[in-house]
Amino acid sequence: MCLSEVPFFYVSGPLIRKIGPRNVVALSQIGYIVRLVYYSVLSDPWWVLPAELLHGLTFAAMWAATTDYAHGIAPGMG
């Protein structure tokens, strides 16, 4: 699960610049929906492993996008 975060943290900057932080958050929410629906229909526990690859999108990309968005709307210090 954590191994999928590293590439998404790496590509989140260019992704945010290309489609914007709000769209990255929306994309990650779609990833959460897909991931949770996938969990709900699993019958074999080993099939959880492919779904864990979406953790990079649903955590790392969303975290980077929300941080970027907060930086953009926060008032300047000093």
Confidence of residue 69 (pLDDT cuts 50, 70, 90): very high
Structure tokens of 27? 């994309």
Between CA 38 and CA 19 the distance in angstroms is 26
pTM over the 0.75 mark: yes
Residue 2 has pLDDT above 70, yes or no: yes
